[in-house]
């Protein structure tokens, strides 16, 4: 007898007929002899509706009361689902988050799961009942109701699957799987049969709304196989597991985050540790940042730019307006009319020309890139929100993501086993007992690459095609460019920084010099750069982690010049002489999180 967790999103339970249809899916598994735990969302757009009601009364409603309010949406669905199942002749019982002991921290609207007690669910399952759990909600130590963040029912489902050591977690939704990009925006998008945890984690955290990114953290950490499939048909969907669909494909998907905001703190004193205070304060307020760039200027000041989700902009404004005086910065700016396009793929880590291809695609449709940030398997470009959809389409087309797999690729793929979970069940149980909180961050490795070089081009004229021109030239030498950061500073001049293997420095500097002649800019390099990388899951959304990384390096007097932050990988460039100290200090700092 298998244990299956089935999750139904809002559209899949939007009315009583759909609730009955979902109930029948559970019954089918039950009749096949399996135990079933259903996790359900609020009906249709109920969560949006509740938010609107609160906004009618207050522009900034109280966080605790918002969670109290929003949790009611799921509570309606669980009761109706139980009634539906009983009407069809099956025993069922509904539970709120509190009733199944989903303990969270006390961060309203973004709470993280600490523990789940499985006793009550197991008792009900043993009594032959179908268990129906409310998604998206939990309870803190003071019995306050908390919610996990929009889309959080996915996380409830995968967390329950992990805690119950379920055989499978089926996510039923209004699309029949994970596509190469949002099929509602790009109809040519192709459904993928399978996608790796790492790729899905990056895509989800960069805006692919089909899965809540924290659910993939759980899935990866506890080896849960996730099957995304349609509520409205019976075909196969997409398996999210340890293996990618195409091992060497540079790009497996493109994500769009429409509601991004860029924050620039202008005229920050260029002293070690000052920029870090900005992250520390934002991290304390649980604001996850992305696309971090610093533009040094001649007068000993730097501009620090970063992006955050527009939902957090109000809070960020409060934090930053206090901070500007404290750190002696000149001013700050928010640009709320931006969107982020990200390409993701395991294969890009060791291929050349991927970034350049993306920049080209954007250039060809005349789109200006405001910022660039990369991590090992992700490249993000910030564009004006009005250009977002055009940029998404162009990028998707450029990587030919609509193309079906060739017969050879299908053969190669089926030769690989479909379901070896990355952790076996014993390992997963050990991990659960070791962690103080189920959502605690897990660090996989801390690495030092001491043979890097950094190149920076200063004061480039910011216009469409700039990045494409620069990386076209660099790519001609088939050089693997690693971290790329571009941001636009004062007077509309852009800086582009990138890292390369040190033995390529001479040839890259020749190219850089030619670029300087063309663009009347200047180039600078550091031949003694080293890269420190922390790998794991949830590194960006656990906002405190990046800050601890910077603080640890700062305390050891290790100065950081380039930062790249993603869910799975936080990397910084430091001076080669400090590489080993930095690595050792980080290993000490994260010893508790490393398994
Ligand atoms: P649910 O209510 O079932 O949780 P969501 O609306 O949260 O459903 O997620 C499904 C939606 O995600 C789809 O309707 C689709 O528009 C969107 N989406 C975004 N990116 C992707 C992608 N890469 N693949 C599939 N769907 C995507
Ligand atoms: N009902 C919540 C939301 O709309 C949670 C979810 O559906 O996953 O965000
Ligand atoms: Mg969802």
- What is the distance in A from the centroid of ligand 2 to the CA of 152? 6
- What is the distance in A from the centroid of ligand 2 to the CA of 7? 11
Residue 172 CA: which ligand is closest? 1
Q: Is 10 in the pocket of ligand 2 (CB under 6 A)?
A: yes
Evaluate if residue 181 carries a pLDDT over 50. yes
pLDDT value at position 433? 58
Listed ranges 154-158, 232-236, 455-459; the one with the highest mean pLDDT: 154-158
* Contacts by residues 521-526 (CB-CB < 8 Å, ≥ 24 positions apart): 521/457, 521/458, 521/459, 521/460, 521/461, 522/457, 522/458, 522/459, 523/455, 523/456, 523/457, 523/458, 524/455, 524/456, 524/458, 525/453, 525/454, 525/455, 525/456, 526/453, 526/454, 526/561, 526/575
pLDDT digits (tens, 9 = 90+) for 259-269: 999 999 999 98
Q: Tell which residue, 326, 272, 329, has the closest CA to residue 303.
A: 329
pLDDT value at position 589? 95
Average pLDDT over residues 37-44: 98
Residue in 8, 182, 253 to alter for ligand 1 test, most ligand atoms within 8 A of Cβ = 182
pLDDT value at position 425? 55
Chain-centroid distance, C-alpha 137: 20
Average pLDDT over residues 260-287: 87
Q: Is 171 in the pocket of ligand 1 (CB under 6 A)?
A: no
- Give me the residues paired with residue 525 across strands: 455
Q: Is 519 in the pocket of ligand 1 (CB under 6 A)?
A: no
- What is the distance in A from the centroid of ligand 1 to the CA of 441? 26
Evaluate if residue 182 carries a pLDDT over 80. yes
pLDDT range class, residue 270, cuts 50, 70, 90: confident
Q: How many helices (H) and strands (E) does the chain have?
A: 17, 24
Residue 209 CA: which ligand is closest? 1
pLDDT digits (tens, 9 = 90+) for 339-369: 999 999 999 988 888 999 999 999 999 999 9
pLDDT value at position 423? 47
Q: Tell which residue, 37, 35, 38, 39, has the closest CA to residue 3.
A: 35
- Beta-carbon contacts of residue 201 (< 8 Å; ≥ 6 apart): 213, 216, 217, 220, 537, 567, 568
Residue 67 CA: which ligand is closest? 2
CA–CA separation, 180 vs 161, rounded Å? 26
pLDDT value at position 593? 87
- What is the distance in A from the centroid of ligand 3 to the CA of 255? 15
Q: Alpha helices, DSSP H only, in 303-387?
A: 313-327, 354-364
Evaluate if residue 67 carries a pLDDT over 60. yes
- Beta-carbon contacts of residue 1 (< 8 Å; ≥ 6 apart): 33, 34, 35
Residue 147 CA: which ligand is closest? 2
Residue 594 CB burial class (10 angstroms; 0-12, 13-18, ≥19): middle
- What is the distance in A from the centroid of ligand 2 to the CA of 201? 18
Average pLDDT of every residue of the chain? 92
Number of the ligand 2 atom closest to the C-alpha atom of 156:
8
Q: Is 151 in the pocket of ligand 1 (CB under 6 A)?
A: yes
Q: Is 456 in the pocket of ligand 1 (CB under 6 A)?
A: no
pLDDT range class, residue 435, cuts 50, 70, 90: low
Number of the ligand 2 atom closest to the C-alpha atom of 9:
7
Residue 135 CA: which ligand is closest? 2
pLDDT digits (tens, 9 = 90+) for 211-222: 999 999 999 999
Number of the ligand 2 atom closest to the C-alpha atom of 41:
7
pLDDT digits (tens, 9 = 90+) for 101-118: 999 999 999 999 999 999
Q: Is 97 in the pocket of ligand 2 (CB under 6 A)?
A: no
Residue in 173, 210, 211, 339 to alter for ligand 1 test, most ligand atoms within 8 A of Cβ = 210
pLDDT range class, residue 592, cuts 50, 70, 90: confident
Q: Is 209 in the pocket of ligand 1 (CB under 6 A)?
A: yes
Q: Is 151 in the pocket of ligand 2 (CB under 6 A)?
A: yes
pLDDT range class, residue 419, cuts 50, 70, 90: very low
Distances from the Cα of 35 to the Cαs of 95, 123, 137, in angstroms? 16, 12, 23
The CB density around residue 400, as the number of other CB atoms within 10 Å, is: 10
Number of the ligand 1 atom closest to the C-alpha atom of 172:
3
pLDDT digits (tens, 9 = 90+) for 452-462: 999 999 889 88
pLDDT range class, residue 421, cuts 50, 70, 90: very low
Answer with the residue of higher pLDDT: 25 or 540: 25
Q: Tell which residue, 101, 139, 104, has the closest CA to residue 120.
A: 101
- Beta-carbon contacts of residue 534 (< 8 Å; ≥ 6 apart): 443, 445, 446, 545, 549, 569, 570, 571, 586, 590
pLDDT value at position 427? 61
- Give me the residues paired with residue 38 across strands: 6, 132
pLDDT value at position 27? 98
pLDDT value at position 509? 94
Element at 466 (helix H, strand E): helix 466-476
Q: Which residues surround ligand 3, an ion (CB under 5 A)?
A: 9, 151
Q: Is 73 in the pocket of ligand 1 (CB under 6 A)?
A: no
pLDDT value at position 429? 59
pLDDT value at position 299? 74
Number of the ligand 1 atom closest to the C-alpha atom of 179:
24
Residue in 38, 48, 186, 209 to alter for ligand 1 test, most ligand atoms within 8 A of Cβ = 209
Q: Is 184 in the pocket of ligand 1 (CB under 6 A)?
A: yes
- Beta-carbon contacts of residue 345 (< 8 Å; ≥ 6 apart): 199, 249, 250, 251, 252, 253, 354, 377
The CB density around residue 197, as the number of other CB atoms within 10 Å, is: 25
CA–CA separation, 398 vs 390, rounded Å? 12
Evaluate if residue 582 carries a pLDDT over 80. yes
Residue nearest to atom 4 of ligand 2 (CA): 47
pLDDT more than 70, % of the chain: 95
CA–CA separation, 526 vs 512, rounded Å? 13
pLDDT digits (tens, 9 = 90+) for 522-570: 999 999 999 999 999 889 888 888 888 988 998 888 888 888 889 999 9
pLDDT value at position 546? 84
Residue in 11, 152, 160, 213 to alter for ligand 2 test, most ligand atoms within 8 A of Cβ = 152
| Half-sphere exposure (Cβ direction) of 540: Cα atoms closer than 13 Å | 26
Residue nearest to atom 9 of ligand 2 (CA): 150
Evaluate if residue 388 carries a pLDDT over 50. yes
Q: Tell which residue, 539, 531, 412, has the closest CA to residue 480.
A: 531
pLDDT value at position 296? 67
Q: Is 163 in the pocket of ligand 1 (CB under 6 A)?
A: no
Average pLDDT over residues 134-147: 98
- What is the distance in A from the centroid of ligand 3 to the CA of 211? 6
pTM assigned to the model: 0.94
């Amino acid at each position: 007898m298998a244990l299956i967790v089935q999750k139904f999103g809002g559209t899949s339970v939007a009315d009583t007929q759909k609730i009955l249809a979902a109930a029948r899916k559970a019954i089918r598994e039950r009749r096949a002899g399996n135990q079933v735990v259903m996790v359900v969302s609020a009906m249709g757009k109920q969560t949006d509706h509740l938010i609107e009601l609160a906004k009618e009364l207050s522009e900034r409603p109280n966080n605790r009361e918002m969670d109290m309010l929003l949790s009611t949406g799921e509570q309606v669905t669980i009761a109706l689902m139980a009634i539906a199942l009983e009407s069809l002749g099956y025993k069922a019982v509904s539970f709120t988050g509190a009733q199944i002991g989903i303990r969270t921290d006390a961060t309203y609207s973004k709470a993280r799961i600490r523990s789940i007690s499985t006793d009550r669910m197991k008792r009900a399952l043993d009594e032959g009942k179908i268990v129906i759990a409310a998604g998206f909600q939990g309870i803190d130590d003071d019995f306050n109701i908390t919610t996990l963040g929009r889309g959080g029912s996915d996380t409830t489902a995968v967390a329950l699957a992990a805690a119950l050591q379920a055989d499978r977690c089926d996510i039923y939704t209004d699309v029949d799987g994970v596509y190469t990009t949002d099929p509602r925006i790009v109809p040519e998008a192709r459904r993928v049969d399978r996608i790796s945890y790492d790729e899905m984690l990056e895509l989800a955290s960069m805006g692919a709304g089909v899965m809540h990114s924290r659910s993939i953290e759980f899935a990866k950490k506890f080896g849960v196989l996730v099957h995304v499939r349609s509520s409205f048909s019976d075909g196969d969907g997409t398996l999210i597991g340890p293996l990618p669909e195409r091992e060497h494909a540079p790009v497996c998907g493109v994500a769009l985050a429409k509601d991004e905001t860029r924050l620039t703190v202008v005229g920050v004193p260029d002293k070690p540790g000052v920029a870090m205070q900005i992250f520390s304060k934002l991290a304390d307020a649980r604001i996850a940042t992305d696309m971090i760039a610093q533009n040094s200027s001649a007068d000993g000041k730097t501009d620090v730019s970063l992006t955050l989700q527009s939902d957090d902009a109000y809070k960020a404004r409060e934090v930053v307006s206090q901070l500007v005086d404290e750190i002696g910065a000149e001013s700050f700016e928010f640009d709320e009319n931006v969107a982020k396009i990200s390409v993701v793929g395991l294969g890009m880590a060791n291929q050349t020309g991927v970034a350049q291809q993306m920049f080209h695609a954007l250039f060809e449709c005349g789109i200006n890139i405001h910022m660039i940030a990369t991590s090992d398997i992700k490249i993000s470009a910030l564009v004006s929100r009005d250009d977002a959809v055009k940029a998404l389409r162009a990028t998707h087309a450029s990587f030919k993501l609509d193309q079906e797999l060739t017969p050879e690729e299908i053969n190669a793929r089926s030769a690989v086993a479909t379901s070896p979970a990355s952790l076996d069940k014993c390992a997963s149980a050990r991990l659960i007992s070791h962690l103080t909180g189920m959502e605690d961050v897990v660090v996989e490795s801390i690495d030092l690459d001491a043979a890097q070089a950094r190149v920076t081009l200063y004061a480039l004229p910011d216009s469409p095609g700039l990045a494409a021109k620069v990386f076209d030239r660099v790519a001609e030498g088939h050089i693997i460019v690693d971290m790329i950061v571009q941001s636009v500073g004062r007077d509309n001049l852009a800086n582009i920084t990138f890292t390369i293997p040190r033995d390529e420095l001479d040839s890259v500097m020749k190219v850089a010099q030619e670029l300087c002649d063309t663009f009347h800019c200047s180039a600078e390099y550091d031949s003694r750069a080293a890269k420190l990388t922390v790998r794991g899951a949830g590194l960006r959304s656990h906002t405190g982690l990046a800050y601890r990384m910077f603080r640890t390096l700062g305390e050891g007097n290790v100065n950081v010049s380039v930062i790249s932050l993603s869910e799975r990988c936080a990397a910084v460039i430091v001076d080669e002489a400090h590489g080993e100290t930095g690595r050792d200090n980080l290993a000490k700092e994260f010893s508790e999180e490393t398994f």
